[in-house]
């Protein structure tokens, strides 16, 4: 999805978000610098900054050494781009679970203030994620549900916890 040019309203605290140009990555990040510190990323942008070896300095610098107002992370959120109801999605494994808000309509993602840093701690580089996915694939799941769980685990960047044939 193409970056929206309009000023977005933060889905967590309702304040205007600041557009920050990410020259190296070629996209705008929308950051709630005067409210809760949340970050809006359009479809597929999170994949470009979710590992610690990927440069996310533009976003991290905008959030660095600031104090942000607390928000209710359980509150229903509405997509600031298309107006659809957002859904909580587990983004990382069970060691440090992170649930982000995702819009199934436009593909955008909203991260609360601390979530980008937590996600980046999960995997140092893309190969670590691939290695985890390959660990899952070496097992032979029982029946159809096992296959569904396999794809869920891979899409959530998580290892499965289920029964397998040996």
Claim to verify: residue 132 and residue 117 sit in the same structural domain: no
Beta strands 140-141 and 18-22: pairing type? unpaired
The verdict on residue 117 lying in a domain is: yes
Claim to verify: residue 79 and residue 138 sit in the same structural domain: no
Claim to verify: residue 59 and residue 118 sit in the same structural domain: yes
CA distance 119 to 45: 14
Claim to verify: residue 118 and residue 146 sit in the same structural domain: no
Claim to verify: residue 91 and residue 131 sit in the same structural domain: no
Task: Report pLDDT for 110.
Answer: 97
pLDDT at residue 39 above 80?
A: yes
The whole domain housing 102 covers 18-122
**Averaged pLDDT for residues 35-46:** 95
| pTM (two decimals) | 0.75
pLDDT range class, residue 34, cuts 50, 70, 90:
very high
Claim to verify: residue 81 and residue 157 sit in the same structural domain: no
Claim to verify: residue 101 and residue 131 sit in the same structural domain: no
pLDDT range class, residue 146, cuts 50, 70, 90:
very low
**Averaged pLDDT for residues 86-113:** 87
Structurally, how many domains does the chain consist of? 2
């Amino acid at each position: 999805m193409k970056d929206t040019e309009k000023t977005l309203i933060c889905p967590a605290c309702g304040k205007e978000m600041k557009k920050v140009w990410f020259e190296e990555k070629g996209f705008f990040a929308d950051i709630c610098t005067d409210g809760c510190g949340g970050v809006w990323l359009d479809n597929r942008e999170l994949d470009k900054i979710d590992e610690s070896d990927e440069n996310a300095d533009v976003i991290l610098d905008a959030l660095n050494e600031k104090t942000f107002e607390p928000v209710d992370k359980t509150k229903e959120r509405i997509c600031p781009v298309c107006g659809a109801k957002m859904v909580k999605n587990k983004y990382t494994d069970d060691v440090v679970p992170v649930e982000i808000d995702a819009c199934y309509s436009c593909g955008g993602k909203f991260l609360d203030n601390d979530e980008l840093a937590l996600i980046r701690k999960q995997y140092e580089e893309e190969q670590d994620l691939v290695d985890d996915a390959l660990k899952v694939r070496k097992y032979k799941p029982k029946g159809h549900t096992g296959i569904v769980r396999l794809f869920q685990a891979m899409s959530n960047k998580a290892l499965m916890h289920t029964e397998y044939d040996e």
